[in-house]
Amino acid sequence: MQAIVIRKAGGPEALKLESLDTPRPLAGHALVRLKAAALNHRDVWQRIAYSGSGPMVLGSDGAGVVEAVGAGVDGAWVGKPVINPGLHWGDREDAPGPNWQILGNPTPGTYAEVVHVPGENLAPKPEHLDFRQAAALPLAGVTAWRGLFTQGQLRAGETVLLPGIGSGVAVLALAFAKRSGARVLVTSGSAEKLAAAKAAGADGGVNYKDADWEQQMRALAGTAGIDLVLDHSGAQTIPAAVRLVRPGGRVVFLGVTTGTELKLNIREVFFKQLHLTGTTMGSPREFQALFRFIEQHRYVPDVRHVFPLAEAGKAQALLESGKQFGKVVLDIG
């Protein structure tokens, strides 16, 4: 099989197209012939920090057709279009168990023609989506879902702020929140991204490069204020989220693209009675709820950037630049 392989940490040029042996399905596992794979920032961090001694195939999201199954997996899966969620979350809803994994290190991932996954992690592809659209959903989709509704407790009529609109998670969160009856405000440093977000349903947006952007955001939020901030950026944006959210509000954070070391005035947290919550990915139950929602609303993810498998380095460079809007996808077959 053809796969994008990383052998040492580096820039996008460290991703190389190579021929690898096609795996055989072990007991309890299935082989999926991939049609598309979606990129996530996790892939970039894995590339930059890779310290393994052998080749690794990155990629956490994929959609394709089951080609073969091992012992213990229902043979009816063969020939069916599927997508893959995360691996081995466990039985608890509050946090994953000790065996939880995300594809793409240490388990070989989806930048390949074939991926080997546990049979329990196969999920049917929504019929109204093509393979590119379906591949865009698993990691970012369930992360946005859990962040908004499980951890963030978002309800119809509330206002949610999505800083840094344009990322896959943020664009999916915008769609899910609007279809659930919430009011959505966004920020970006790009006028083009703000316009795209408004075209996608955002109720208002502010350019965070403006010196008075927080005042502008308060004016947009109105007297009721912001109930929830879903932040995927990290250290540089969470303090502003704490300042902007209403007393008793929620700040849910899930990414570190602007850094991991946070300087925070904790007086604002306890005097405003705020709830600060971390999140990432989600349980199989949340994954099922997400896909019921997608089917109900006939939602189609925003996939604007498609590259052939061989150009995974170019695709990651776009993601790393922050110039994308929505999901970046590799076309495999």
Q: What's residue 248's pLDDT?
A: 97
* Strand intervals (E) in the chain: 2-5, 16-19, 29-38, 61-69, 81-83, 114-118, 123-124, 159-162, 183-188, 204-207, 226-231, 245-253, 275-278, 303-308, 327-331
DSSP type of residue 255? -
- Asked if residues 218 and 229 have their Cβ atoms less than 8 Å apart, the reply is no
From residue 169, give the alpha-carbon distance in Å to each of 145, 172, 266, 299, 328: 9, 5, 27, 15, 12
Domain boundary assignment for the chain: 2-137+301-331, 141-278
Specify the length of the chain in residues: 333
- Asked if residues 163 and 190 have their Cβ atoms less than 8 Å apart, the reply is no
Tell me the CATH number of domain 2-137+301-331, given options 1.10.10.10, 3.90.180.10, 1.10.4160.10, 3.40.50.280.
3.90.180.10
Q: What's residue 232's pLDDT?
A: 86
User: What pTM, to 2 d.p., does this model score?
Assistant: 0.94
* CATH fold of the domain at 141-278: Rossmann fold (3.40.50)
SS3 185: strand
80, two tokens: 């069916």
pLDDT tens column, 186-207: 999 999 999 999 999 999 999 9
Query: Mind giving me the DSSP string for 115-172?
Result: EEEEGGG-EEPPTTS-HHHHHTSHHHHHHHHIIIIIIS---TT-EEEESSBTBHHHHH
Q: What's residue 93's pLDDT?
A: 94
Tokens 């999140």 locate to: 279
Give Dmax (Cα) for the chain.
61
Q: What's residue 52's pLDDT?
A: 85
Q: What's residue 333's pLDDT?
A: 82
Q: What's residue 237's pLDDT?
A: 85
Q: What's residue 11's pLDDT?
A: 97
Q: What's residue 260's pLDDT?
A: 75
Q: What's residue 266's pLDDT?
A: 87
* pLDDT in 10s for each residue of the chain, 333 residues: 999 999 999 999 999 999 999 999 999 999 999 999 999 999 999 999 999 888 999 999 999 999 999 999 999 999 999 998 788 899 999 999 999 999 999 999 999 999 999 999 999 999 999 999 999 999 999 999 999 999 999 999 999 999 999 999 999 999 999 999 999 999 999 999 999 999 999 999 999 999 999 999 999 999 999 999 999 887 778 999 999 999 999 999 997 777 777 788 888 889 999 999 999 999 999 999 999 999 999 999 999 999 999 999 999 999 999 999 999 999 998
φ and ψ of 309, to 5 deg: -55, -40
- Whether the bond between 106 and the residue before it is cis, its omega within 30 degrees of 0, is yes
